[in-house]
Amino acid sequence: MNTYKYVAVIGIDGMGNFNSQTDTPNLDKIFEKGAVAWSAVSQNPTISAQNWGAMLLGATPLVHKLTNGSISNEHYLNEALPSVFKRIRETDPDCYLASVCNWNPINHGIVEEGIGVEKLTADNDRELVPLIISCVNKKPKFLFVQLDDVDGAGHSGGYGTEHHYEEIRRADGYTGEIYEAYKLAGILDETLFIVISDHGGVRNGHGGYTDTEKYVFMGISGKGVQENFITYAETRDIAAIVLSALGLSVPEYDEEGFTSQIPEGIWEGTKPYYRKPVERPLVPVRETPGNIFDFIDKDKVKLLMHLDNSLEDISGKCNIKEKGTVKFYSNGVNSACGEFGKTGFCVTDGVSFGENSFTVAFWVETDNTITEVPALMGNQDWSWQNRNKKGLTVALRSNDIVFNISNGNDHIDTAVPFPEGTDRGFLHYIAAFDRENKEIRFYNNFNLRHIISIPDDFLISYDTNYPFVVGNDGKGVYNNVSHDFIFHLDDVLITSFAFNEETTENLRKYYFDK
């Protein structure tokens, strides 16, 4: 096989292989004589962090454990599994390396700090292109680019729609501009040029493992690359391709670590691809169990958001306003779930608590990466100096969920730790405020976990001047301004009665009994 002085990976987020459905003259031209996979396989779940992480680290999501939340919050510190940037840097202390990403969490939480990688970002792909070109002019030994607007178009207008294709055509144009820059810099002949997507999508989301979510385009072009179809490749193979193209050794295949390989069909004489099916735990619970209102009294539901590619309150009681963008992923409970936090949340207009008992229930996906206390939902200003102001907030931490009620003078925080063995996946949470029995009952996964009694001066109305907000605090500020949180919620339910053993068991049946 050939080696190259330069390698460029242009990542087009959320394109899948939908470029086969629209005009992409630049991609066609660039890969005319290259090696192309139309059904390279994305890692499960088909989510950005899991797949960009797989590409840059050469490992499965089960091994690297990165999530959209974790890379937004934390720098990448795992020295046992360095990124390709770090592996290159270790062999070449002086070369120029650049990572230019519209979605900055990649720069923040996958590419290590302090290893001399120029990291750039911009608000949209159009503004990113001149930054990319300025990097190309500095002749990067390795350039990684992530374009994000194609994924945005999929989330907002649907994957495989004209709206999505239009953005793919734009990304094709940007890719052409970048390719041209390599030509103008006089280094194209010595460059291996790669275009790949991290995942596709279905309806308005992704995260599941259907064909349009998991199959992605991978194109490879450069001197010595065979004009060929690659029959099998995975997103995580990018690491091995990059390292070997630069003449660096590719780490041994290690089930607990680096499992990136060079797909057959790119260069002559590469080793056969070693394929071992990897067992992965499936996060969602099971298929659609029927109508939830057969299990709970619809008249006593104040809000129910199934979050199946829509922010609608299916109880029909509230109007819901989206702030920013709530993204949908198809690996929720029964169907899709919603991604909330820094990038989007929603404001309801009909949830009041008055002098009644009530219940707040939802599924939340946990991955132990939340280091602070983002507000999952509530009607209170969650900035810490205002936590004695009246209202309630449910907040998430790495190992528990905090339920805060404040009566205006004082507050009660009740943290219910995740059940033993919960380190990732969806967890069901219920907080039942029972005015008659003067107690709050907490359930996890439909089991009673904790009871606290309510002092008399907390038997007040919890309505505030703020609306009830899902995905942020009542003020709609905490998660997006002070903090960088992202989390997944499903089936958000508010009722005007306090769940007890019997109603909790009914809800469990809705999810689990055939």
Q: Residue numbers of the site for Zn ion (CB under 5 A)?
A: 13, 48, 151, 198
Minimal distance in Å, beta carbon 160 to Zn ion? 15
Instruction: State the angle between helix axes of 162-184 and 149-157 in degrees (0 to 180), rounded to the nearest 10.
Output: 180
Tell whether the torsion through CA atoms of 245, 251, 257 and 259 is positive or negative.
positive
Tokens 């996060």, residue located: 283
Minimal distance in Å, beta carbon 39 to Zn ion? 17
C-beta separation of 363 from 487 below 8 A: no
Between 198 and 490, CB nearer to Zn ion: 198
Name the residue with the smallest CB distance to Zn ion.
48
Task: Return the half-sphere exposure (C-beta side, CA atoms, 13 A cut-off) of residue 172.
Answer: 23
Minimal distance in Å, beta carbon 131 to Zn ion? 20
Sequence-ordered list of residues with C-beta below 8 angstroms from that of 466, at least 6 positions apart, any chain: 379, 380, 381, 391, 473, 474, 475, 476
C-beta separation of 108 from 153 below 8 A: no
Minimal distance in Å, beta carbon 199 to Zn ion? 5
Whole-number Å distance between alpha carbons of 442 and 425: 19
Between 26 and 197, CB nearer to Zn ion: 197
Minimal distance in Å, beta carbon 152 to Zn ion? 10
Between 54 and 361, CB nearer to Zn ion: 54
Minimal distance in Å, beta carbon 188 to Zn ion? 28
Whole-number Å distance between alpha carbons of 177 and 175: 5
Tokens 């989510």, residue located: 47
Between 45 and 378, CB nearer to Zn ion: 45
Minimal distance in Å, beta carbon 342 to Zn ion? 16
Q: How far is CA 2 from CA 185, 229, 248, in A?
A: 21, 18, 12
C-beta separation of 149 from 124 below 8 A: yes
Between 167 and 198, CB nearer to Zn ion: 198
Between 13 and 308, CB nearer to Zn ion: 13
- Angle in degrees, CA 368, 370, 374, rounded to 5: 140
Q: Is 224 left (phi over 0), alpha (psi -120 to 50) or beta?
A: left
Between 48 and 393, CB nearer to Zn ion: 48
Minimal distance in Å, beta carbon 198 to Zn ion? 4
Between 200 and 257, CB nearer to Zn ion: 200
The DSSP H or E segment spanning 90 is helix 84-91
Between 104 and 191, CB nearer to Zn ion: 104
C-beta separation of 472 from 345 below 8 A: yes
Minimal distance in Å, beta carbon 305 to Zn ion? 23
Q: Is 272 left (phi over 0), alpha (psi -120 to 50) or beta?
A: beta
